[in-house]
């Protein structure tokens, strides 16, 4: 299989991409063969030697299903098609004519090991009608392995919202041509299982979000020292544990020197430098490459002053947790990265005069533009957006990240990447990937400190 362009396209953008392919000399039938046969490869890997049932709808997603079924049949697999309706497009009719296996009616009690859902694809905007919903649900109950083609039927491609209650979940979802927002957005993303992409040759679309992928990093130069690798200053506050967690993560994420600006009475890890001098004096060090403000900062007048001093320093900065609650519009600059969770995100929208309307992707891009910050909208469906319009969506990470302190770890990783010299949007994407990979390596039931301890191993996978 060829390497696809890693982009996320809305329904409208995907239609434009397909139209461009056709204008360039392809035709719908050829594209359907490429998409269907590519998807059939993934179906075969899951259960090519097991009985497969393909549920075909009337549109081109159903046409893809007929191509998949024929590809499995010609490879010697056992396959049957359930036709939810007669093909309604020319390409779907042509694909149906090329399929030479059994086609069953909707009242057949079909059983099998693998169900391939080709009922409706990414263009669906209304709920499945009751008959189709009942048909899909019944087949899902009778097939233990379920694969969705392009998107699970009954999902809004652009928002990730289910259009019907009680939709089935899937072992695998095979995207066709490009990723869709719903592949990365909750609640739909939680039901899709593993994600795979079949390339049909779509060109890169202007302003389309990318997908956060493994960074390509390099070890320090042969003549590097701790300052050339980047000095990160972390501004502590009322709750020193959160800042120390961020420092622990940052020390494993590439910065050469992490310094905690705080007055801490208790012990700290021996390789962490603590500077108890006034923040205004500590920030006068011109060697500081980046700042992190927020974890454990507090929300009193002292915390507010520390934030103001940090922002006035003008260095690239990550704003997290309490810093987001204390932030005043107009204080930030283009080298700032904000890492809000859902509640903090909504509060920032209010602060910057935004309505909060639209999909999660649209809202994140709007907040980045209005605030002039790179925004990491963190959560089970993390999105990164920059003020200049760039954006990227993250694959699902471990749900064990729903643990206190893991946001401090993310902030420390991103700040470390900033200190190491990455531009704000790039540092944000690198940090999100490293955070998710560290969680995968940590296994189940980790603590935030345990997560931080796996950041170095995640970084090693990028060298």
Asked if residue 248 and residue 103 are part of one domain, the reply reads no
Give me the residue label for tokens 């902030």.
411
- Residue 136's pLDDT is 97
- Tell me whether residue 5 is in a domain: no
Same domain for 155 and 286: no
Residue 362's CB: how many other CB atoms inside 10 A? Answer: 17
Q: Is residue 214 in a domain? A: no
Q: Does 116 lie in the same domain as 76?
A: yes
pLDDT value for 285: 95
pLDDT tens digits for 235-282?
999 898 999 999 999 999 999 999 999 988 777 888 899 999 999 999
CATH number where 420 lies: 3.40.1190.20
The CATH number of the domain where 123 resides is what?
A: 3.40.50.10260
Q: Does residue 87 share a domain with residue 30?
A: yes
Burial of 239 (0-12, 13-18, 19+ CB in 10 A): middle
Co-location of 175 and 284 in the same domain: no
Judge whether 192 lies within some domain: yes
151, 177, 208 - which closes a domain:
208
- Shared domain check, 153 and 99: yes
Question: Helix (H, G, I), strand (E, B), or coil: what is residue 8?
Answer: strand
Report how many domains make up the chain: 2
Joined tokens for residue 53: 């049932």
Looking at the structure, do residues 173 and 268 belong to the same domain, yes or no? no
> Of 208, 241, 274, which marks where a domain is finished?
208
Buried b (16+ CB within 10 A) or exposed e, 240-268: bbbbbbbbbbbbbbbbbbbbbbbeeeeee
Structural domain including 344 reads: 231-460
Residue 49 lies in a domain: yes
Q: Residue 352: is its pLDDT beyond 60?
A: yes
201 and 236 part of one domain = no
Are both 175 and 261 inside the same structural domain? Answer: no
Q: Is residue 109 part of a domain?
A: yes
Percent of the chain with pLDDT over 70: 99
Are 252 and 381 members of one domain?
A: yes
In a domain, 101, yes or no: yes
First to last CA, the chain: 25
Quick check: is 223 in a domain? no
The model's confidence at residue 100, banded by pLDDT at 50, 70 and 90, is very high
Place of tokens 């994140």: 364
Q: Is residue 222 part of a domain?
A: no
Nearest by Cα to 174 from 87, 65, 76, 60? 65
Kindly report the length of the chain.
463
Q: Same domain, yes or no, for 145 and 270?
A: no
Mean pLDDT of 431-458: 98
Tell me which of 175, 208, 241 is where a domain ends.
208
| pLDDT tier at 5, thresholds 50, 70, 90 | low
Determine the pLDDT at residue 2. 42
Are 187 and 235 part of one and the same domain? no
Write down the pLDDT at residue 4: 54
């Amino acid at each position: 299989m060829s390497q696809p362009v890693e982009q996320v396209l809305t329904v409208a953008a995907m239609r434009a991409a397909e139209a461009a392919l056709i204008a360039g000399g392809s035709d719908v039938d050829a594209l359907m063969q490429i998409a269907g046969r590519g998807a059939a490869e993934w179906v075969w890997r899951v259960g090519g030697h097991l009985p497969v049932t393909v549920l075909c709808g009337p549109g081109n997603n159903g046409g893809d299903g007929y191509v998949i079924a024929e590809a499995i049949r010609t490879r010697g697999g056992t396959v049957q098609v359930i036709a939810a309706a007669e093909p309604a497009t020319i390409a779907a009719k042509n694909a149906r004519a090329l399929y030479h296996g059994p086609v069953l009616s909707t009242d057949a009690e079909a059983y099998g090991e693998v169900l391939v859902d080709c009922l409706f694809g990414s263009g669906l905007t209304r709920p499945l009608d009751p008959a189709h919903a009942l048909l899909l649900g019944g087949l899902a109950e009778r097939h233990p392995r379920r694969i969705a083609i392009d998107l699970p039927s009954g999902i809004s491609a652009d928002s990730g919202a289910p259009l019907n209650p009680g939709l089935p979940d899937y072992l695998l979802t095979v995207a066709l041509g490009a990723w869709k927002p719903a592949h990365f957005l909750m609640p739909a993303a939680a039901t899709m299982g593993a994600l795979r992409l079949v390339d049909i040759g779509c060109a890169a679309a202007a302003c389309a979000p990318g997908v956060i992928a493994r960074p390509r990093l390099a070890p320090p130069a042969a003549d590097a020292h701790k300052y050339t690798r980047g000095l990160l200053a972390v501004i502590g506050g009322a709750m020193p544990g959160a800042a120390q967690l961020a420092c622990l993560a940052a020390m494993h994420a590439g910065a050469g020197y992490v310094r905690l600006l705080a007055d801490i009475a208790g012990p700290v890890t021996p390789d962490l430098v603590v500077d108890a001098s006034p923040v205004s004096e500590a920030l006068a060090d011109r060697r500081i490459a980046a700042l992190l403000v927020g974890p454990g900062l507090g929300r009193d007048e002292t915390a507010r002053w520390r934030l103001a001093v940090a922002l006035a320093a003008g260095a690239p900065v990550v704003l997290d947790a309490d810093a987001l609650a204390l932030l005043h519009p107009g204080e930030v600059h283009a080298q700032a990265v904000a890492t809000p969770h859902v509640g903090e995100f909504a509060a920032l929208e209010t602060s910057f005069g935004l309505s909060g309307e639209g999909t999660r992707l649209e809202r994140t891009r709007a907040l980045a533009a209005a605030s002039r910050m790179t925004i990491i909208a963190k959560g089970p469906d993390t999105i990164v957006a920059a003020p200049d319009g760039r954006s990227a969506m993250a694959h699902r990470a471990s749900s064990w990240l729903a643990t206190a302190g893991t946001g401090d770890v993310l902030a420390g990783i991103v700040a470390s990447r900033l200190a190491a010299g990455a531009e704000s949007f790039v540092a944000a994407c690198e940090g999100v990937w490293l955070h998710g990979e560290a969680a995968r390596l940590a296994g189940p039931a980790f603590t935030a400190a345990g997560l931080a301890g796996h950041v170095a191993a995640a970084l090693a996978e990028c060298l």
